[in-house]
Structure 1
Amino acid sequence: MSYLSELRAVVGPRPLFSVGASSVVQDETGRVLLQRRGDDGLWGLPGGGLEPGETFEEAARRELNEETGLDTPLAFWQALSGAHLYHRYPNGDQVYFVGGLCRGRLSAASLEHAVPDDDGETLALGWFGLNGLPTISANVNKQTLSLLRAEVGLPPLPLEPSPLPPVGEHMRELRALVGPRPLFAPGANVLLRDGEGRVLLVRQAHNGLWALPGGSMELGETFEQVARRELKEEAGVRVDELRPLRLYIGPQYRFTYPHGDVVDNVSQLFEAQFLGGELKLQAGEVTEAAWFAPADLPPEHGLSGPLIRANLSDWA
């Protein structure tokens, strides 16, 4: 049983994050490989949900092989998130996609050797020009194809309207239903730098360790919205520009909280410039804040988990 199926058995059709990967494969003329889906009969990119321990590239290549019988190296391109990526499946299950797009190439002739799955998930496969697309399923596919269309000067595809995201603390509410089991936790951290090139760290109340300002995504948020919200909540800071640096995903970024909850982080790291002003720390969550130069960072055992250690190691 897949990660998402296990959750569905407990929580039913309520909205969940679907952390997944899409295979954006083009041929030598720029046509894109699409599959006709078995659930709604419409067309989309090969892809599917991640299993714990997978990267976007690994999941995209696995799904491409499972759904088409084809294989090619795939490289991470970019991530998608946001309220417009809401989707309701024909069976009533609701998701907010957090997608990793991975690109690759195949020759047009390779489709002759495709072997679509026999479980009804793939009804047909085909190459399509970006100016002659069939009816596309789900906003996540439409946005992905719009990114490709923009590269050749074509307008974006219109998106289906999405409902307002639910209000609440998604992870806390989900934990009450599923317990401490590993959960994908999309989110963001921020390297906030001052005029001297130092970075802001905050000491977390729950473990006494140092971390970058950041946290988990709520349903419907983008990675950038998470970063801005967490900066404001934890340190009372607003910034003009957030520059994405790197997305961290994989088994090495799993984190276990002191109370036993386990998360597999899917985290976008941003960089921002501190514009001055007084820091206002979040009571009950943050006990202290300080600026650190690269050579003066806290020791590894004083940092909150493998994700923060990797963020700061890459920066330093």
Structure 2
Amino acid sequence: MRRATHRVDYWKDPAAPKPTSRKTSASVFVRDGHGRLLLLRRVDNGLWTIPTGGVKKGETVAQAGVRECREETGLDVEVTGLVGVFSTPEHVIAYLHDDEVLEVRQPINICLRATVVGGTLAPEPAEASEVRWVDPAELNAHPTHPAIMARITHGLRSDEPYLA
């Protein structure tokens, strides 16, 4: 039986494999009129995240963020600002197939603020098992990778862009 490619995230782990590549991704920090945050549960690791994905050739970071949000949550958003640029070398992602390392990526994420302009909240089964609006006071009940939580925390606490 052939096993699927999967990922392993490392955070502040001295035993993490060394990066072999860098890739830019876009994420969107979306809040509703009640201050709740748009989250989805990843199908590959069960953790909660904000809509996030790689920037494809021929698209801008903002276009990637809008596309990823639509693909993962069913919602159409409009970019309204910048949460920050997150590029710490303390976060690496290993992509494996049949336990063979294909790539070890040190991500560069550009997190954008956005607002909903249309669509219907619905998870894309290949991307998310659940999508929901979460009150910031309830974030601890939604297991989240530390790199994603850094984006969320900054987005909640500051209107000034994070640059690191």
- TM-score clears 0.5: yes
1:81 and 2:87 equivalent? yes
Kept after mapping to 1: 8 A contact 2:27/2:52 = yes
What CA distance in whole angstroms lies between the structure 2 residues aligned with 1:136 and 1:89? 19
What RMSD in Å do the two structures reach over aligned CA positions?
Answer: 2.8
Distance in 1 (alpha carbons) for counterparts of 2:21 and 2:153: 25
Pair 1:97 & 2:107 matched:
yes
The residue aligned with 1:122 is: 128
What residue in structure 1 maps to residue 42 of structure 2? 37
CA deviations 1:71-95 (Å, max 9, x no partner) are 0211340322121232345755422
1:132 equivalent among 135, 138, 144:
138
Which runs of no fewer than 5 residues in structure 1 stay unpaired?
1-12, 153-222, 225-316
Report the alpha carbon displacement of residue 14 of structure 1 after superposing the two structures with TM: 5.6
Residue in 2 that maps onto 1:275: none
User: What residue number does 1:252 align with?
Assistant: none
Residues 73 and 122, structure 2, Cα contact 8 Å, conserved in 1: yes
- Partners of 1:127 and 1:90 in 2: CA distance: 31
SS of structure 2 residue aligned to 1:142: helix
C-alpha separation in 2, matches of 1:61 and 1:36: 18
Question: CA offset at residue 106 of structure 1?
Answer: 3.1
1:122 is aligned with what amino acid? A
Inter-partner Cα distance in structure 2 for 1:96 and 1:69: 28
The whole-number CA distance in structure 2 between the counterparts of 1:151 and 1:30 is 14
Say which structure is richer in helix. Answer: 1
**2:6 — aligned with what?**
none
Taking structure 1 as the reference length, what is the TM-score of the superposition?
0.39
Q: Where is the strand percentage greater, Structure 1 or Structure 2? A: 2
The Cα offsets for residues 33-72 of structure 1, whole Å up to 9 and x where unpaired, read as 0100011011001110011122110000000111111102
In the alignment, structure 1 residue 54 sits paired with structure 2 residue 59: yes
CA 1:89–1:76 in 2, change beyond 3 Å: closer, same or farther?
farther
- Distance in 1 separating the partners of 2:109 and 2:61: 8
1:161-200 correspondence runs (5 A): none
- AA at the equivalent of 2:149: K
TM-score by length of 2: 0.72
Q: Specify the alignment match of 2:8 in structure 1.
A: none
Amino acid at match of 1:121: E
Higher relative contact order (CA 8 A, sep 6+): 2
Residues 196-207 of structure 1 mapped to structure 2, 5 A cutoff: none
The aligned runs of 1:1-316 (5 Å cut-off) are 15-77=20-82, 78-88=84-94, 93-106=103-116, 113-118=120-125, 120-133=126-139, 134-137=142-145, 139-151=146-158
Contact 2:81 2:114 (8 Å CA) reproduced: no
Q: Shift of the alpha carbon at 1:132?
A: 1.6
Corresponding pairs, count: 138
Larger Rg belongs to = 1
* Amino acid across the alignment from 1:115: A
Distance in 2, matches of 1:39 and 1:89, equals 12
- How far, CA to CA, are the matches of 2:136 and 2:58 in structure 1? 33
Report how far residue 128 of structure 1 moved. Answer: 1.2
Letter in 1 for 2:148: N
Percent of pairs with identical residues: 26
Give the Cα separation in 2 of the matches to 1:82 and 1:34. Answer: 22
5+ residue gaps, structure 2, are 1-17
Q: Taking structure 1 as reference, are residues 30 and 52 closer, same or farther at Cα in structure 2, changes over 3 Å only?
A: same
